[in-house]
Chains A and B, each alone.
Chain A
Amino acid sequence: MILDSLAPLGAAALPDAVQNRVALLAAHAALDAQARALASLVRRLEALARAVPTGDAGSAWRGPAHTAYGASVRELGARLAEATAVVEAAQVHSTRALSTIAARVR
């Protein structure tokens, strides 16, 4: 994106080493923001998982419909947990990529 903004100034004409350095810095900044945003999202999703109903919906409701409801809600909880784990993995990979790029930036 930084490269895109430099394009009108003739960034394409810059030496390769400079261009690579600029790209590295832009990628570092973007990955840093991405890792932070993903970490924040993981926290929100974990809080959201606690807001999913238990599937009980009252002690007096019993029968097949109640059982089906309970199963549906549990499945929703499992799907949310799976999605949260994937977001967490994306955050871990972003942080790992950030460390690698940070080493190259120094």
Chain B
Amino acid sequence: MSGDGGLTISGGGSVQVASDALFTDAQSLEAVSEQLRRAVAELSRIDARLSIGLLQQADAPVSALDAEAQIHSAARLLHAAGSRASTIAAMLRLSAEGYGRAERLGERAVQELAARLGYGIGMLLPALVAVMLPALPAAVAGLAVASLASPGWHRRVPGAMGAWFADNNRVLTNPGTVALVRASAMSIDDLIAGAFRVPPPLVQALGDEGAGVVGLGTSAAFIAATGSRVGILADGPVAARPRVQRDVAAPPRGLAERLDRIPQRVRDAEGRPAGAHVLVERYSQAGRPDRFEVYITGTADFSPVAGAEPFDLTSGVTGMAGMPAASIDAVRQAMADSGVTADSPVQFTGFSQGGLIAAQLAASGDYNTAGVFTAGSPTGQIEIPAEAAVLELEHSDDIVPALGGARTDLNAVLVEREAFAGRETPDGVAVPSHDRGEYRQTALLAERAGSERVRGVVDRLDDFSAGATSIVSTSYVAERVGAGR
């Protein structure tokens, strides 16, 4: 279901899911109903001013009596119209609730199916390995030859894969693929359990479909631990240092301005990394404690081998595992350096992995979090305290948020849009729907949304820094210490 702006709204403490246009209509009808109720009350007051007795005493003309009769008739009609408006609004809300419940049921059914499938594949894994074992010497010999002929070939694999997906980007830029990725992410724990022959009832009781003791986080932890044994996804200590400090004229307004303030890691002409990872804005105002907004960049390096760049795939996996990822630690260091304490009111804004970090830090309870705004982030399984104003942007054809699994946090307001619905994807970009520019467009649409749920959170995010008389922004660059690559 999507509206004219293509936005679908959910969350905000409700199971309702509908287009922004539908929620806006429901609000308009509720307002019309309220206005009609007031109009009926107004007619009642008008009627009370002029009694039939007075009209008779004044020997009033028939037209005065006609007016009286019409006032009574109008009151009945307005009352009926008000009831009608109220009923239609209630039906819209009910349909949004029904849609939301059906969607959750559907997601659950797919998740259960994917879990069984994952478990089955996991059980077959040892057999598959046994079948493929005779071919292992030949494969190892092939890899050895490849290494001799082209040293460092394994580092080029992600690039080659990226090039293939860039040429075939509709494969990934697809709501169907996104749903598959989400279901797969949720069933990795079942696959692992199947491979280790854990009894199915136990898997079900402990997994996402049961008590939720194991799930996406434990799967990510398993992958990180296994990977580190073969030299990949091995995280390490990090050091963040301030880069540039400057005064800022005004606090951000709206969502697009917040996205614009997120720093970006790029490569300069010589191929060296440039730009900051984290930007902290300190808002000061007489009579109030200093407030801080933390802007966090996304993944800058997609190689599975951890290097100096802490905002990489390794941090992404360890961060999803809920482990102390280098990128998360870098943000903590930047915050501490800026003067953020456990009591300082703080708001987080992050793109992609930056949003994952934002959600993790808000959920940690270590900070006095007033708000969180994320775009294209795998945050589905992270529950942020309900007191915080949380707004998350997701493209239904972007696989990155899907890596975070099924959404469990109903308090966060989720604004979804299919970025490439009915239009061509650009050439040469592997995941165009994850582009920051596309999310900026969605942010602008969300700012213009009529739904009070979205407007309410945007207002709260803006109110956080309103009235600041001095704003100092400090950007930070982080580096993994003693990285091997």
B22, B43, B51, B77: the one contacting A61 at CB < 8 Å is B22
Across-interface contacts of B84 in A (CB, < 8 A) = 72, 75-76, 79
**What's the Cα separation between A22 and B304 when bound, in Å?**
95
- Name the one of A65, A75, A90, A101 contacting B67, with C-beta atoms under 8 angstroms: A90
A101 pairs with B58, CB closer than 8 A = yes
Given A3-B57, A57-B3, A76-B84, A69-B39 contact (CB < 8 Å): no
B66 touches A83 (CB 8 A): no
Cβ A83 vs Cβ B28 within 8 A: no
Point out the residues of chain A lying under 8 angstroms from B70, CB to CB.
86-87, 89-90, 93
A-B residue pairs in contact (CB < 8 Å), sample of 17: A20-B59, A27-B60, A31-B64, A37-B46, A38-B67, A44-B35, A52-B85, A53-B25, A58-B2, A59-B3, A59-B4, A60-B2, A60-B6, A80-B36, A87-B70, A90-B74, A93-B70
- Would you give the shortest CB distance from A74 to chain B, in whole angstroms? 11
Top 9 closest pairs, chain A to chain B, by CB: A58-B3, A97-B64, A27-B58, A83-B77, A90-B70, A58-B21, A93-B67, A23-B57, A86-B74
CA distance in complex: A3, B21 (Å):
55
Given A31-B64, A90-B71, A93-B63, A53:B28 Cβ within 8 A:
yes
B2 CB to closest chain A CB (Å) equals 4
The answer to whether B49 touches A30 (Cβ under 8 A) is yes
Closest residue of chain B to A2 (Cβ to Cβ) is B54
Q: A37-B42, A76-B85 are in contact. Are A61 and B50 (CB under 8 A)?
A: no
B residues near A61, Cβ cutoff 8 Å: 1, 3, 19, 21-22
Q: With A1-B51, A76-B85, A87-B74 as given contacts, are A57 and B22 in contact (CB-CB < 8 Å)? A: yes
Q: Which of these, A23, A26, A86, contacts B77 with CB under 8 Å?
A: A86
- Rounded to whole angstroms, the CA-CA distance of A90 and B63 in the bound complex is 9
The interface residues of chain B, by DSSP majority, are classed as helix
Interface flags, A8-20, vs B, CB<8A=1, else 0:
0000000000011
Q: Least Cβ distance of B370 to chain A in Å?
A: 32
Chain B residues with Cβ below 8 Å from A23 are 54, 57-58
Binding site for B on A (CB under 8 A): 1, 3, 19-20, 23-24, 26-28, 30-31, 33-34, 37-38, 41, 44-45, 48, 51-53, 56-61, 65, 69, 72-73, 75-76, 79-80, 82-83, 86-87, 89-91, 93-94, 96-97, 100-101
Given A19-B57, A76-B85, A89-B70: A94 in contact with B64 (beta carbons within 8 A): yes
From 1 to 17 in chain B, residues with beta carbon under 8 angstroms from any chain A beta carbon are 1-4, 6
Give the A-B contact count at a CB cut-off of 8 A.
162
| A51 proximity list for chain B (CB < 8 A) | 28, 31-32, 35
> Which residue of chain A is the closest to B69 with respect to CB atoms?
A90
The answer to whether the Cβ of B125 comes within 8 Å of any Cβ in the partner chain is no
**Distance in Å from the Cβ of B450 to the closest Cβ of chain A?**
10
Q: For B61, give its contact among A45, A72, A101 (CB under 8 Å).
A: A101
Cβ–Cβ < 8 Å partners of A41 in chain B: 39, 42-43, 46
Assuming the A-B contacts A58-B4, A58-B19, A90-B70, are A82 and B57 also in contact, with contact meaning beta carbons closer than 8 angstroms in the complex? no
Contact of A48 with B35 at beta-carbon distance under 8 Å, contacts A27-B50, A30-B50, A58-B19 already known: yes
Q: Decide yes or no whether B225 CB sits under 8 A from chain A.
A: no
How many Å lie between the Cα of A34 and that of B255 in the bound state? 49
Taking a contact as CB atoms under 8 Å apart, the answer to whether A26 and B63 are in contact is: no
Q: Is B73 an interface residue (CB 8 A)?
A: yes
CB nearest to A98 among chain B residues: B64
Closest partner residue, chain A, to B55 (CB atom): A27
* Contact status B54-A20, CB under 8 Å: no
B19 touches A57 (CB 8 A): yes
Q: Given A27-B50, A57-B19, A57-B22: A96 and B63 within 8 A (CB)?
A: yes
User: Digit string of B30-47 for contact with A (CB within 8 Å is 1, else 0)?
Assistant: 011001100100110110
Q: Which residues of the partner chain A approach B80 to less than 8 Å between Cβ atoms?
A: 79
Q: Render B91-115 as a binary contact track against A, CB cut-off 8 A, 1 for contact.
A: 1100100000000000000000000
Cβ–Cβ contact B81 & A34, under 8 A: no
B386 within 8 A of A: no
Q: Shortest Cβ distance from A36 into chain B, in angstroms?
A: 10
Contact among A24, A37, A52, A87 with B28 in the assembled complex (CB-CB below 8 Å): A52
Q: Are A31 and B50 CB-contacts (below 8 A) given A97-B63, A101-B58?
A: yes
Evaluate contact between A45 and B39: CB separation under 8 angstroms.
Answer: yes
B239 neighbours in A (Cβ, 8 Å): none
B472 beta carbon closer than 8 Å to chain A: no
Closest CB in chain A relative to B190 CB, distance in Å: 34
Chain A residues whose CB sits within 8 angstroms of the CB of B32 once the complex forms: 48, 51-52, 76, 80
Point out the residues of chain A lying under 8 angstroms from B6, CB to CB. Answer: 60
* With contact pairs A52-B28, A90-B70 given, residues A76 and B54 touching in the complex (Cβ less than 8 Å): no
- Verify A33–B35 contact, CB threshold 8 A: no
| Bound Cα distance A27, B51 (Å) | 9
